[in-house]
Amino acid sequence: MKAILLAGGQGSRLRPLTLNTPKPIVPIFDRPFLRYQIELLKQVPEIDEIVLSLNYQPRRIEEVFGDGSDLGVQLRYVVEPQPLGTGGAIKFAAGPHPTGPVVVFNGDVLTSVDLPEVIALHRAREARATIVLTPVENPTAYGLVEADDLGNIRDFLEKPTADQITCDTINAGIYVLEGETLDRIPADTQFSIERGYFPSLIERSETFVAYTYRGYWIDIGTRQKYEQVHHDIMSGRFSAPPFEGAAGTALVSPGARIEDGAIIEGPCFIDAGAVIKSGARIGPNSVIGANCHVAEDAQIEGAILWPHTWVDRAARLGGLIAGRHCQFGRHVEVSGDAMLGDNSVITDFSRL
């Protein structure tokens, strides 16, 4: 069975972080995001090929995962000549005349849904398509999906307005689709699976089934959610590596160097090659990427620093997210929810 990961979007809501790092490989602690999805797909022994559907900066993603052998999977990359939208991209990645079930994932959702169970439901119901639904507080940023008591989908409305909201379940971005049903998607044309394909299943009264999942689910596509996923994993609200069995603790890589007199307060993460000098304090909810340097008396709390960032003496950083190779000068103060792109330089005594 083939799995297609839709990983071609530009990640515009995570700019500037995604200018050099496409959303599917933004780091979550010490790993590229898609690694979590690939691990989830490994739960299904039948999946023998994972196709990454790419468009934006495909080479960077290929460089990270190669042929997949490091992760124990077989990966193939498909790059659209131009963005085809979610439906066009699935059609393009599935190739000509697909048959049987194909698993599709939006490349920015993190969840612990039981995928074998979803596939089993799809088979038991002999569905043409099955999608995972999940409840959220505000469905307006998602696809609103209404199902009846028997789990048949009755309505699919992408990005509803407030007055169109009739239930709290949304499209979780995880599907099992019968290859034959992709015939309604025009080839090489921009086409939305949410606005075109799903409504057409309902119009044609085809067996379109909901699997409702009430466990952990998040779309990491905005700043707030990207930050939240780190908090959730650190606190144990979502049990996932690298914090499995270590929730709430200060997780320090054996390859990091913490000098005597540095204060480290969990939950936080300090990656390999990082140096925390004496008198520095790393407070709760901080993520210090590989090879970062935190100088004497610097204080960091609730900040996410990607690798290779330099924090000079007595700087105070709170709440921000900073890309790779940033420099914070002496006595810099950054508070609030700043987002800084790669190579940002904040000079001594600056306040943001």
Residues in contact with Mg ion by the rule CB under 5 A:
108, 219, 221
Q: Report residue 251 as tokens.
A: 């997780």
Q: How far apart are the C-alpha atoms of 34 and 142, rounded to whole Å?
A: 20
d(CA 2, CA 25): 21
Least separation in angstroms between residue 60's CB and ligand GDD is 14
Beta strands at 217-219 and 109-111: parallel, antiparallel or unpaired: antiparallel
Q: Which of the residues 50 through 89 are near ligand GDD (CB under 6 A)?
A: 53-55, 80, 83-86, 89
Subset of residues 187 to 246 that bind ligand GDD, contact rule: CB under 6 A: 194, 219, 221
User: Cβ 44 to ligand GDD, closest distance in Å?
Assistant: 19
Q: Between residues 21 and 309, which has the closer beta carbon with respect to ligand GDD?
A: 21
Using CB atoms within 10 Å of the CB of residue 44, give its burial: 0 to 12 exposed, 13 to 18 middle, 19+ buried. Answer: middle
Q: 89 is in the binding site of which of Mg ion, ligand GDD, none (Cβ under 5 to 8 A by kind)? A: ligand GDD
Closest contact distance (angstroms) between CB of 22 and ligand GDD is 8
The yes or no reply on residue 119 touching ligand GDD (CB under 6 A) is no
Helical H runs in the chain? 34-41, 58-65, 85-94, 115-124, 198-203, 223-235
Distances, alpha carbon 344 to alpha carbons 121, 241, 329, 340, 347, in Å: 49, 29, 11, 6, 10
Contact track, ligand GDD, 294-323, x by CB under 6 A: ------------------------------
Out of Mg ion, ligand GDD, none, what residue 171 binds, judged by CB under 5 to 8 A for its kind, is ligand GDD
What's the rounded Cα separation, in Å, for the pair 8 and 304? Answer: 25
Q: Which residues bind ligand GDD (CB under 6 A)?
A: 6-9, 53-55, 80, 83-86, 89, 106-109, 142-143, 158, 170-171, 173, 194, 219, 221
